[in-house]
Amino acid sequence: MKRVVFDRVGPPAEVLRIEDDVPAPQPRRGEVLVRMLASPVNPSDLMYVEGRYGLKPALPATPGFEGVGIVEATGGGLLGWFRKGKRVAVINDRVGNWAEYTVTKARQVVPVPDDLSDEQAASFFVNPATAVAMTQHVLHVPRGAWLLQSAAGGELGKMVIRLGHKLAFRTVNVVRRREQIDELKKLGADHVIVEGDGPVAEQVRKLVPDGVRYAIDPVGGATGTQVIAALARGGRCLLYGSLSDDPVQVHPRQAIGAGLRVEGFWLGEWAKRQRVLTMLKLFRRVKALMREGVLTTHIGATYPIEQVAKAVAHAAAPGKGGKVLLKIGDR
């Protein structure tokens, strides 16, 4: 089979190469063999290849944490047997999905409905589940409350805006490009502010004078620092990404006086602490919200797996215009 591989960490467009003729991996007991159809290029995949992610690759390694494929075989176990022949969304932290075949635990594949395209099903876990988990399971953002988010024009940010519109919580959205304002307002954003127009916390307090009770930030650095500075008394902020690669600053007096909570959120770690039933309910909710168009991923470009270097270069470019998808196989 064909797969993407890297032998050293570094810039993805430089270190990734195609291997053409390697044996397919063998599923162990409790695992399934999946023939991959498509997989998105997420920021976490790029950071993994760069050696900047929470999981470190055992080299040589294949990237690709999520995607969609068809279960071709099982290594044994009841769940795998039930999944055989099904088109499934695949989450994979063991072998990597940017390959014609991959193996993963049977409980890490979720059958997808026929009316969900491969393009949408490929991004089932990472962004949709995170958007719902952060706002509904961790922060429990109530109806009418304000949620502030940075990187709001990204695919996950747009899902949070649509969720707010559907579930009646209000969003203040921070972007770095002015041309995103209209698009985000059309999706249901209550306010969109541009980082370059002045300190984010000041801009937020003009709109919500007491500050916001809830915030999520995947940028860190100066942006994350400003997001935290915009919190109201008793406010809570989830840090869930490190796009700027810089630390945030919180003055202890601000945190003490206002009783702030600033926490990290990582879907994989959070999911491990949940009961099986909670995760099943979450997946059912994600499926329904994807079909309603709330948790939709806009695909900016599709590349065949052979053009992985072009795909990752495109995915790393500012203002890339949607998720970059690797097409791996046909149904």
Ligand X SMILES: NC(=O)c1ccc[n+]([C@@H]2O[C@H](COP(=O)([O-])OP(=O)(O)OC[C@H]3O[C@@H](n4cnc5c(N)ncnc54)[C@H](OP(=O)(O)O)[C@@H]3O)[C@@H](O)[C@H]2O)c1
Which residues bind to ligand X, rule: CB under 6 A? 42-44, 126-127, 130, 151, 153-157, 176-177, 218-219, 223, 240-241, 243-244, 265-267, 318-319, 323
At 72, list the tokens: 């071709």
At 215, list the tokens: 């915030």
Question: Measured from the CB of residue 48, what is the shortest distance to ligand X in angstroms?
Answer: 10
Question: Measured from the CB of residue 109, what is the shortest distance to ligand X in angstroms?
Answer: 19
Buried b (16+ CB within 10 A) or exposed e, 134-165: bbeebbebeeebbbbbbbbbbbbbbbbbbbbb
Strands 231-239 and 261-264: parallel
Separation of alpha carbons 93 and 132, rounded Å? 21
CB nearer to ligand X: pick between 100 and 266:
266
Question: Measured from the CB of residue 46, what is the shortest distance to ligand X in angstroms?
Answer: 9
Q: How far is CA 118 from CA 84, 96, 122, 297, in A?
A: 18, 18, 6, 11
Q: 203 with 229: CB under 8 angstroms? A: no
Q: 154 with 131: CB under 8 angstroms? A: no
Question: Measured from the CB of residue 72, what is the shortest distance to ligand X in angstroms?
Answer: 28
Residues 6+ apart with CB under 8 A from 120: 290, 296, 297
CB nearer to ligand X: pick between 62 and 180:
180
CB nearer to ligand X: pick between 16 and 160:
160
Question: Measured from the CB of residue 192, what is the shortest distance to ligand X in angstroms?
Answer: 12
Strands 191-194 and 212-217: unpaired
3-state secondary structure of 277: helix
3-state secondary structure of 178: coil
Q: 184 with 175: CB under 8 angstroms? A: yes
Question: Measured from the CB of residue 96, what is the shortest distance to ligand X in angstroms?
Answer: 17
Question: Measured from the CB of residue 176, what is the shortest distance to ligand X in angstroms?
Answer: 5
Comparing every residue's Cβ against ligand X, the nearest one is: 154
CB nearer to ligand X: pick between 33 and 290:
290
Separation of alpha carbons 68 and 123, rounded Å? 8
Q: 36 with 1: CB under 8 angstroms? A: no
CB nearer to ligand X: pick between 120 and 130:
130
CB nearer to ligand X: pick between 79 and 317:
317
CB nearer to ligand X: pick between 177 and 206:
177
DSSP-derived secondary structure letter, 272: H
Q: How far is CA 53 from CA 49, 65, 308, in A?
A: 8, 12, 20
CB nearer to ligand X: pick between 102 and 180:
180
Question: Measured from the CB of residue 197, what is the shortest distance to ligand X in angstroms?
Answer: 14
